[in-house]
Amino acid sequence: MTLPLDQDPRPPYVQAADVLRAAIRDGELRPGERLPSARELQRRFGIASSTVQNALRLLKEEGLIYSVLGRGSYVRAHDGEPEPEEEEAAASESDPAYVGLGDLRRGWQVVPTDDPRPPYVQTADALRKQIQDGRLAPGAKLPSARELQEQFGIANSTAQNALRLLKDEGLIYSVQGRGVFVRQLSPHDQFLKRYHEMLDKSAAQRRADEEAVRLSGKTDDEVAAELEAAEERFAKASVEFEAATAHRDAMRAVMEQRKRLSGNYTPEEKAAKAQLLRDRLTEGRRRR
């Protein structure tokens, strides 16, 4: 992961030194172990090479690390840094075993090991996906090269190469003095985008259907038999409902006859009838 440059007011080299210092003190970087190269630290932290050098210089001044010319920086042993002649002797020996830093807990970017493509290709691929799925809409401004450095933990040249690749593909364009923007898709590309979205939606629906079938634990024949039984129950219920409805309407008509003869209406029914009569009279006057 990159350093919290926007949230931490301290200089970036101080932040980087703090992460390395914590790794040394927690035993994640053991005495005698070689630190990643300056280029690797630059990529992991998303900072410039000079910032990395300043962070290493700070740790050297604190006596936590030492450098061997042509070989790199190492964690100093608890009994003190080797004398110059020891450093010269060490330079003639084979490199110490380097176990890697992929599992460090404090502030390290997890570097994918299963993608052999160059970093600029991986960065371009990530941006391309953001454009294709609409997170970067046509006309939207892309992050600057510096922002891409911090976001992906890459060098400036890598960010520039990634942008150049997307420009060659016709996905983005540059406006001098303003930045890089997502190009409006052509009608053909818009069709392809909608087509692929439809395919993705269909594939997602199929996966959901397959999962539902799996969870039901029933065969097609069992489901067909249940559907047939449900259709029969529905048909029977429909007949009963129609018969009940007809009987209800008939009984309402009989009751209305009796009320007309006896005038035995409730106050609410009398008010409703009066209102109905007034509405009919009003409608008749309007027609005149």
| pLDDT tens-digit map of 175-211 | 888 899 998 877 887 787 778 878 888 999 999 999 9
Res. 112 pLDDT band, cuts 50 70 90: very low
Matching residue, tokens 């997502």: 182
- Tokens 């992929």, residue located: 102
Model pLDDT for residues 11-69, shown as the tens digit of each residue: 888 888 988 998 898 888 888 889 998 888 888 888 888 888 989 999 999 999 998 87
Nearest to 58 by CA among 8, 104, 20, 30: 20
pLDDT value for 99: 35
Please say whether the beta carbons of 17 and 58 come within 8 A. yes
Is residue 98 predicted with pLDDT exceeding 80?
no
Which residue segments constitute the domains of the chain, with CATH numbers given? 12-75 (1.10.10.10), 119-182 (1.10.10.10), 187-262 (no CATH)
Task: Tell me what the mean pLDDT of segment 248-259 comes to.
Answer: 92
pTM over 0.75: no
What tokens appear for 185 in the block? 């898709």
Q: What is the largest CA-CA distance in the chain?
A: 126
Give the phi and the psi of residue 92 in degrees, each rounded to 5: -85, -10
Q: Which residues contact 228 (CB under 8 A, 6 or more apart)?
A: none
When pLDDT is cut at 50, 70 and 90, the band that residue 87 belongs to is very low
β-strand pairing of 72-75 with 65-68: antiparallel
Between 157 and 139, residue with greater pLDDT: 139
Say if residues 172 and 183 touch (Cβ distance below 8 Å).
yes
**pLDDT of 225 above 90:** yes
The answer to whether residue 146 scores a pLDDT higher than 60 is: yes
Q: Indicate the length of the chain as a whole number.
A: 288
What is the pLDDT at residue 226?
A: 94
195 has which bridge partners?
none
| DSSP code string of 3-55 | --TTT--S-HHHHHHHHHHHHHHTTSS-TTPBPPPHHHHHHHHT--HHHHHHH
Inter-residue long-range contacts of 21-28, CB under 8 Å, 24+ positions, other chains counted: 21/59, 21/62, 21/64, 22/106, 22/107, 23/101, 23/104, 23/106, 23/108, 24/59, 24/64, 24/65, 24/75, 26/105, 26/106, 28/101, 28/104, 28/105, 28/106
What whole-number distance in Å separates Cα of residue 208 and Cα of residue 214?
Answer: 10
State the Cα–Cα distance between residues 5 and 19, nearest whole angstrom: 13
CB neighbours of residue 182 within 10 Å: 19
